Amino acid sequence: MKPFRLPLALFCLLIGAFARAEPYQILTEEWAPYNYQQGDQLTGMATEVVRAIMTLTGDGFEIVVVPSMRATHGLMNRPRTIMYSLFRTPEREPLFKWVGPIAEESIYPYQLAGTPPVDSLEQLRQASKLTTRHAGLIPQVLESRGFDNLEKSATSSQQLYRMLLAGRTDIIVGDTDAGVAYYSAQLGIAPGTLRRVPVALYHSSLYIAFSKDSDDKRVAAWADALEQLRLSGELARIQQRYRRPMTYGPAP
């Protein structure tokens, strides 16, 4: 009996079908209040948005929490990968397919309210140091803007606030206002303890990013679902749940 030989064209067709059937994987990092672990549950503003989108599209993709650099590496190198939340920058624009925005945010430096106030970009440049996380977009942005006084020693947002409270640094930068409010609540920092320096060092929108090989119809379906959430008011309701009120130190 002659061995059965699958025609090459049919074999390639089946391989392509299997590839298309492979589910997407969603990657995210620990970055409250957008995506973070609470106990053994993954939650956050962006996590709720992504799950609401998948409810509308009928998708049930697994969400995996990994360190920031691993998430970005996976998005760039692993097929059929989705990542949230990601700032959409000119450098990143051609690398991925985008769905959003899911939020618009600015990042300000913070100092203790009882210390001499810093109020200008020039004062920030002249400060003995600005402490930020050791990796990620924010230290990259600040370095590109010529800040040569960065201390990139914090491995987490919590460590940033602990360093500031312990007097190990005078100024920290790394979180949005919503993030500062979240970590203040988590660490028991009383309202009025922190003062926001009135200089926005970064402003952009948060998006969901798809790897470049992702199916355009899939990306469009997610964009349509997000628009449904926006028009129904559900997106705004999700955002509002995570925008906790915070009292800032009085301006000088």
Residue 211 belongs to a domain with what CATH number?
A: 3.40.190.10
Tell me whether strands 202-211 and 130-133 are parallel, antiparallel or unpaired. unpaired
Phi, psi of 68 (to 5 degrees): -50, -50
- Examine the domain organization and report whether 231 and 168 are in the same domain: no
How many domains would you assign to the chain? 2
- Examine the domain organization and report whether 111 and 198 are in the same domain: yes
- Examine the domain organization and report whether 24 and 100 are in the same domain: yes
- Examine the domain organization and report whether 62 and 88 are in the same domain: yes
Residue 48 CB partners (closer than 8 Å, separation 6+): 238, 241
Report whether 179 contacts 32 (CB < 8 A).
Answer: yes
- Examine the domain organization and report whether 159 and 225 are in the same domain: no
- pLDDT tens for the chain, residues 1 to 252: 444 454 554 444 444 444 445 789 999 999 999 999 988 899 999 999 999 999 999 999 999 999 988 999 999 999 999 999 999 999 999 999 999 999 999 999 999 999 999 999 999 999 999 999 988 889 999 999 999 999 999 998 999 999 999 999 999 999 999 999 999 999 999 999 999 999 999 999 999 999 999 999 999 999 999 999 999 999 999 999 887 544 433 333
Does 1 map to a domain? no
Does 24 map to a domain? yes
H-state helical runs in 45-107: 45-57, 68-77
- Examine the domain organization and report whether 54 and 89 are in the same domain: yes
Does 5 map to a domain? no
Give pTM, 2 decimals. Answer: 0.80
In which domain, by residue range, is 227 found? 17-105+203-241
Q: How far, in Å, CA of 117 to CA of 170, rounded? A: 10
Partners of residue 203 on adjacent β-strands: 106
- Examine the domain organization and report whether 73 and 140 are in the same domain: no
- Examine the domain organization and report whether 23 and 88 are in the same domain: yes
